[in-house]
Amino acid sequence: MSSRAEILELLRENARYTTEDMARQTDLTESEVETAIEELEADGVIRGYTAVVDWGETDKERVRALVELNVTLDRETSYADIAARLAKFPEVESLRLVSGDYDFDMEVEGDSMREVSRFISDKVAPVPEITQTVTHYVMESYKESGIEFGDGHDDDRLSVSP
């Protein structure tokens, strides 16, 4: 595995590993780790670092909705044009073009259902190319970014074994 691929794998596992600990886990030196990260960032492979939050464990109310969007294209407007316009809104957490019954899969976050609903009706639905929106509010989250929510699994192994 190239050092870039190795570092990418480690950061995907835990973006808070120190460069020192990444060096210890690989055959790389600390400065090689730093270089690999700088390159990955400069080349746009790594676009950012973020925490995986289980909002159910906080006091904060957080409302999320998955929105299916159908659009019509014309000679002057491409998927990318519509996407660029939607992605600018800070409420939009993720936006993907998908295959199947609808075109865009959009994730929206807000502080209340009212806020999210208003955002979709006032900002998204009126976009001329958008012909239909279907909004699914998230009721419960079980796994995000590869991390399972819930109490986890206790280590029930014998403390010392052959």
Partner 1 sequence: MQLSDRVDQVPPSGIRRFFELAEEMDDIISLGVGEPDFSAPWSARDAAIASLERGETSYTANRGKKELREAIADDQRRRYGLDYDPDEEILVTAGASEAIDLAFRALVDPGDTVAVAQPSYVSYVPGVIFAGGDPLSVPTRAEDEFKLTREVLESSGAADADALVYCYPNNPTGATMTGEELEAVADFCREHDIIVLADEIYSELTYEHDHTSIATLPGMRERTVVFNGFSKAYAMTGLRLGYAMGPPEAIKGMNRVHQYTMLSAPTTAQHAALDALENCDDDVDEMTAQYNRRRNFVLSRFEEMGLSCFDAAGAFYAFPECPWDDADAFAEELLHEEKVAVVPGEAFGEGGEDHLRVSYATGLGELKEAMARIESFLD
Instruction: Candidates 38-46, 69-77, 107-115, 153-161: pick the segment binding partner 1 (CB under 8 A).
Output: 153-161
Q: Do residues 79 and 97 lie in contact, with contact meaning Cβ atoms separated by under 8 Å?
A: yes
How far apart CA 99 and CA 113 sit, in angstroms, is 28
Asked if 145 is part of the footprint of partner 1 (rule: CB under 8 A), the reply reads: no
Q: Is 161 in the site for partner 1 (CB under 8 A)?
A: yes
* Nearest distance, CB of residue 25 and partner 1, angstroms: 4
Based on CB atoms, which residue is closest to partner 1, 2 or 159?
A: 159
Q: How far apart are CA 86 and CA 114, in angstroms?
A: 19
State the DSSP code for 57: G
Report CA Rg, the chain.
21
Under the criterion CB under 8 A, does residue 9 sit at the interface with partner 1? yes
Alpha-carbon gap, residue 75 to 128, rounded angstroms: 14
Q: Do residues 137 and 64 touch, judged by C-beta distance below 8 A?
A: yes
- Residues 109, 55: contact at Cβ < 8 Å? no
Of positions 7, 12, 27, 123, contacts partner 1 by CB under 8 A = 27
Q: Which stretch binds partner 1 (CB under 8 A): 22-30, 59-67, 100-108, 117-125?
A: 22-30
- Residue 61 interacts with partner 1 (CB under 8 A): yes or no: no
> Of the ranges 47-55, 123-131, 132-140, 152-160, which one interacts with partner 1 (CB under 8 A)?
152-160
Which residues contribute to the site for partner 1 (CB under 8 A)? 9-10, 14, 21, 23-27, 153, 155, 157-162
